[in-house]
Amino acid sequence: MTGLSFPFRVVLVANRGEIAVRIIRTLQKLGLQSAVVYHEVDARSPAVALADHAIEISGRTPVSSYLDGDQIIAAALSVAAGAIHPGYGFLSENAAFARVVEAAGLVFIGPSADVIELMGDKIRARNFVAHNGFPVAPSAVEEDDPATFLDRARAVGVPLVVKPSAGGGGKGMRIVRDLAELDDAVVQARGEGQRYFGDGRLYAERFVERPRHIEVQILGDSLGNVVHLFERECSVQRRFQKIIEETPSPALSPDVRKKICETAAGIARAAGYRNAGTVEFIYGRGEFYFLEMNTRLQVEHPVTEMTTGLDLVAEQLAVAAGHPLAFGQDDVRSNGHAIETRLYAEAPERNFAPTTGKVLALEYPQGDGVRVDSGIGQGQVITTAFDPILAKIVVHGATRTEAIARACSAIDNLMLLGCETNAAFLRRILGDDGFKAGEVHTGYLDEHPDIALGAAPDENVERRLLALAALLTRPVRDAAHAVPALHASLGSWRN
Amino acid sequence: MRHTFNIDGKTHALWLSRSSEGYRLELAGGWSVPVALVEKRKGEARLIVDGRSEPVVYVVDGDLVHVHLGGQSYAVRYIDPLAALSGVDGAAGHNVARAPMPGVVLSVRVSVGERVAAGTVVAIIESMKLETAIRASQDGIVEKIHVREGESFDRDTALVTLSQEGS
């Protein structure tokens, strides 16, 4: 990778937190200059300290500043940046932003705006994938021909899920396991669709029992070469939010693994995909269906880097610079097992309520096979203004068992004081028998609420906490000193 | 003197006294043992409870003691008796509606001096993209409103203090 030439000397990172730090590190490694935009609440963040240039942006809310494309492009031009890396979230999958970046004469580090647009429209993306002969869940859309909807839904077969077309978040969803229940399910789903979305149109789709989330990392260059970098499994989720990701997936046989990875590469090739992207699938009982394609770097990309030895941000930059991929599919190897755990500012024990505070003490685990991507530093205030992700603890081991053991000890050696986190919850998942056996599906944590709740601290721990707090609290110590010590009062007549 | 601390929403009473060896801790129920803290450097020490020694890392931040013990982090809150008496905290005659989680005040539904019944909505907050109604836990008179509309707050922030009639 070193020695590559770039048509840009300065790259602006239009993001914050751990991903901004992670991108800046690769820019430094490649000898490129880094610039980052920041809202004032992030003024003390590590990304701002690390970048060669930091440009303050503002907005009605902190989030809205990072969504303000005009300010970001102006910031890039002000430091003579030649390219913008959007990271994930914010403007990373905004086709209009990709277009204005290019219109301003800058390189957008990502796919073409047309591909972002195609994959951003879930129905268009699904039709595109199906028309190119790749598997999507069998389904029936009422709107296509309302008169035949029920017949077409029956033809999909059970188990079946009936959902409002306008829906989201599981509202109005009905699972049908016996076709005799279909008529009732349609009436109920339509009623709830009307109530929640003011829209009674429905669609029916094959329901995957105990679904697992499998995704495949893709890399394409501007010459049409596409490779896959194997899969990641992200089934440990709560309310559609990923918590732990790993590669390889313990769910896949070598055959299915090959098939799913080649399918993803095929979809990317058909779309003329350039840069890094991820094709997500639902997997269950040996079958997989296309879910969506994310046209950006994923939060969980480090597990792929750990097993393949590649630097995905460096690859993104090389592709954006117009270079062909430096390797073919056969050169990509996956070694060992990698696991990422996401450290969030939230309390799983209290229904995942967000937590806030100030980072008063911070120590990350270190050692062989341990990587920490962190966006926070000592003294930083954690607010609810952004997503709750604080850091990612990523480990690598020769086997899955070794990787799990390493992840456990990494969490044990993590210390953050001043803001409550989900660390103890991560540790409980890693120690769960179902997780250790590789049997987690996306509904697993909902089925096992005890993992989120945890146990109250035991009496011994409570006693030690109270002892420490008493000894450290000035009014408590002062009160103890206000009363003569026992030996002082006894001492006089003992001597 | 009796002191009150809070761990994870649970209140604990304790007594600390001096003894020939250093300090002695007594908890409700009569459990009483010698305790000591041997500081290694600022914020790092060995905690000795009843002869058992264990490394701890801690930061004191106002009434909160943040502790890392046995691979896990905890926060222990000291309930200041003076603050409690002045009505900032839940002492006799006062009742404070606190934020169950961090968020933003959408609206305050009561005004100072207003008589409210248990269950009355005193404020609406937004947290986790959801609106939550904060209700009075008992009958009383609104004594103080601690937040303004649009203001953001941390967990456990006092939102509204009620005083009970006759007290």
Which pLDDT band holds residue A76 (cuts at 50, 70, 90)?
Answer: very high
CA–CA distances in Å: residue B156 to residues A178, A355, A388, B21, B159: 49, 11, 19, 37, 9
Contact present, A230 and A196 (Cβ < 8 Å): no
* The CATH number of the domain covering residues in A10-109: 3.40.50.20
User: Could you tell me how many CB contacts below 8 A there are between chain A and chain B?
Assistant: 159
Of A456 and A470, the one with more pLDDT? A470
| Residue A66 pLDDT class (50, 70, 90 cuts) | very high
Residue whose pair of structure tokens reads 């989900």 in the numeric block:
A422
Tell me the fold of B85-163.
OB fold (Dihydrolipoamide Acetyltransferase, E2P) (2.40.50)
For A317-369, the pLDDT digits (tens) are 999 999 999 999 999 999 999 999 999 999 999 889 999 999 999 999 999 99
Q: Which residue reads 């908890």 in tokens?
A: B27
CA distance A190 to chain B (A): 25
Q: How confident is residue A61, by pLDDT bands cut at 50, 70 and 90?
A: confident
Residues of chain A neighbouring B8 (CB-CB closer than 8 A): 349, 456-457
Say whether A423 and B73 touch across the interface (CB within 8 A).
Answer: yes
Residue with tokens 């409103």: B145
The reply to whether residue B49 touches residue A463, judged by beta carbons under 8 angstroms, is yes
Helix (H, G, I), strand (E, B) or coil at B3: strand
Nearest residue on chain B to A358, judged by CA atoms? B61
Determine the Cα angle at A10 with ends A6 and A15, to 5°. Answer: 115
Beta-strand (E) ranges in A132-260? Answer: 139-141, 160-164, 174-176, 202-206, 212-220, 226-238, 241-247
Is A356 within 8 Å of B155 when comparing Cβ atoms? yes
Inspect the interface and report whether the beta carbons of B16 and A354 lie closer than 8 Å: no
Q: Which two tokens stand for residue B39?
A: 């500081």
**A481 in contact with B, Cβ within 8 Å:** yes
Tokens linked to A278: 């991820």
Residue in the structure block whose two tokens are 């943040």: B66
A34 Cβ contact partners less than 8 Å away, ≥ 6 residues apart: A10, A11, A13, A23, A24, A27, A28, A50, A51, A52, A53
- For domain A138-206, the CATH class is alpha beta
Q: Which residue has the higher pLDDT, B165 or A240?
A: A240
pLDDT in tens, A103-119: 999 999 999 999 999 99
Q: Answer whether A472 sits within 8 Å of B5, measured CB to CB.
A: no
What is the pLDDT of chain A when averaged over all its residues? 93
The backbone region for A60, taken as left when phi is positive above 0, alpha when psi lies in -120 to 50, beta otherwise, is alpha
Tally of residues, chain A: 495
Q: Say whether pLDDT at A81 is over 90.
A: yes
Chain A interface disruption, residue of B12, B14, B18, most A CBs within 10 A: B18
- Sign of the alpha-carbon dihedral angle for A443, A444, A446, A452: negative
DSSP string of A238-295, one letter each residue: ETTEEEEEEES-TT--HHHHHHHHHHHHHHHHHTT--EEEEEEEEEETTEEEEEEEE-
Q: Could you tell me if A187 lies within 8 Å of chain B, comparing CB atoms? A: no
Q: What angle do CA A452, A455, A456 make, to 5 degrees?
A: 120
Which chain B residues contact residue A427 at CB under 8 A? Answer: 71
A455/B contact by beta carbon, under 8 A? no
* DSSP-based three-state secondary structure for A329: helix
Question: Which token pair is B162?
Answer: 């009620």
Give the C-alpha distances (Å, rounded to integers) separating A225 from A221, A322, B50. Answer: 6, 12, 68
Distant-in-sequence, close-in-space partners of A169: CB < 8 Å, separation ≥ 6: none
Look at residue A466 in the predicted model and tell me its pLDDT. 97
- Looking at residue B96, its pLDDT comes to 82
CB contact under 8 A, A463 and B61: no
Sequence ranges of the domains in chain B: 2-79, 85-163
Q: Cα(A127)–Cα(A133) distance, rounded to whole angstroms?
A: 10
Distance CA B118, CA B112 (A): 16
pTM value is 0.88
Structural tokens at position A411: 């969490």
Query: What's the pLDDT tens digit per position in A389-447?
Result: 999 999 999 999 999 999 999 999 999 999 999 999 999 999 999 999 999 999 999 99
The reply to whether domains A10-109 and A212-453 share a CATH topology is: no
CA-CA distance, B103 to A356, in Å (whole number)?
10
pLDDT at A214: 98
Question: In whole angstroms, how far apart are CA A223 and each of A239, A372, A432?
Answer: 39, 34, 46
Mean pLDDT on A80-91: 97
Separation in Å, CA A325 to CA A22, A84, A114, A225, A276: 22, 20, 22, 7, 11
Q: Token digits for B95? A: 């009742």
Of A369, A442, A466, A454, the residue nearest A409 (C-alpha): A369
Nearest by CB: A417 against B25, B68, B80: B68
**Type and span of the H or E element at B47:** strand B44-49
Half-sphere exposure of A403 (CA within 13 A, CB side): 29
CA pair distance B131, B146, nearest whole angstrom: 19
Class of domain B2-79: alpha beta
Sheet architecture: strand order including A33-38: A53-56, A33-38, A10-13, A83-85, A107-108
- What is residue A446's three-state secondary structure? helix
Q: Do B57 and A357 touch (CB under 8 A)?
A: no
Interface with chain B: mutation pick from A464, A478, A490, highest number of B CBs within 10 Å: A464
Q: How far apart are CA A33 and CA A465, in angstroms?
A: 48
Tens digits of per-residue pLDDT, A213-230? 999 999 999 999 999 999
A465 to chain B, any CB pair closer than 8 A? The answer is yes
Q: Does A77 touch chain B (CB under 8 A)?
A: no
pLDDT per residue of chain B (167 residues) written in tens, 0 to 9: 899 999 988 899 999 999 887 899 999 989 999 999 999 999 999 999 999 999 999 999 989 999 999 999 999 999 887 665 544 444 455 678 888 888 888 889 999 999 998 888 898 888 766 778 888 888 889 999 999 988 888 888 888 888 876 54
A364, A427, A476, best to mutate vs chain B, most B CBs in 10 Å: A476
CA angle at A470 for the pair A467 and A475, rounded to the nearest 5°: 170
- Looking at beta carbons, which residues of chain A come within 8 Å of B69? 461, 464-465, 468
Nearest CA in chain A to B76: A469
Burial pattern B49-71, b for ≥16 Cβ within 10 A else e, equals: beeeeeebbbbbeebbbbbbbee
**Reported ipTM:** 0.82
- By C-alpha distance, the chain A residue nearest B43 is A361
Residue A365 phi/psi, 5-degree rounding, is: -65, 150
- Spatial distance between the Cα atoms of B25 and B18, rounded to a whole number of angstroms: 9
Q: How far apart are alpha carbons A454 and A351 in whole angstroms?
A: 12
How far apart are alpha carbons A172 and A174 in whole angstroms?
6
Higher-pLDDT residue of B125 and A474 is A474
Residue A1 has pLDDT above 60, yes or no: no
Q: Which residues of B touch A480 (CB under 8 A)?
A: 16-18, 23
Query: How is domain A212-453 classified at the architecture level of CATH?
Result: 2-Layer Sandwich (3.30)
Residue A41 burial (CB count, 10 A): 16
- Residue of B18, B60, B69 with shortest CB distance to A472: B60
- Residue ranges covered by each domain of chain A: 10-109, 138-206, 212-453, 467-495
* Interface residue of B11, B19, B37, B101 to substitute, partner A, most A CBs within 10 Å: B101
